[in-house]
Copies of this chain bind each other. A is one copy, B any other.
């Protein structure tokens, strides 16, 4: 016997849907919610249900948002810039926003091209992106996909699309992280840092 009563067992099972949560962590979470965090647990259940009801995709940039179009896409000052930053996920939008360096709009792929997994251009919204580039409001595209094999392939694919509409395209720089030490940086990153060196 596992010793758990059915409601506790199914709560533990349900918690395992969360990323990085295995059996032991799920047990700990379940007991803590039921022992000491009943108010928090109620709020959590309600927040999940509310978010599932109201959160969908932005029709323009595909990020997760309430309403049809997200706050960033609705901002006329951002549209004026004519710059589109291509990222893989809504979390990347938040990361770029936190730099304070970018004031244009985003396009969120929600993944990467991956032919082996059956993920083609349409699955990551590249048809929608193509329409957007065709409209002529975008003067510059910044490719901020991750420096993985899939991320690079996706960036390459989008760069070719943009070239067809004579849109300037750039890739964000990869190199030694600020505060990082050369000794501890992997060789591929260090390779990028040398290739991308700048005159001082």
Contacts and interface: CB of A to CB of B under 8 A. Distances in A.
Interface of A: 1-8, 10-11, 13-15, 17-20, 25, 27-35, 37-38, 40-52, 54-55, 64-67, 70-72, 89-91, 93-94, 97, 110
- Of the listed residues A49, A51, A67, A70, the one surrounded by the most CB atoms of chain B closer than 10 A to its CB is A51
- Of the listed residues A35, A42, A47, A110, the one surrounded by the most CB atoms of chain B closer than 10 A to its CB is A47
A19 B29 contact: yes
25 contacts: A2-B97, A3-B71, A3-B97, A6-B66, A7-B66, A8-B64, A8-B66, A10-B47, A11-B50, A17-B33, A17-B37, A18-B29, A18-B44, A31-B89, A35-B64, A35-B89, A35-B110, A38-B52, A41-B51, A41-B52, A42-B49, A45-B45, A45-B48, A45-B52, A48-B48
A5 B45 contact: no
B47 A18 contact: no
A40 B27 contact: no
A199 to B, nearest CB: 35
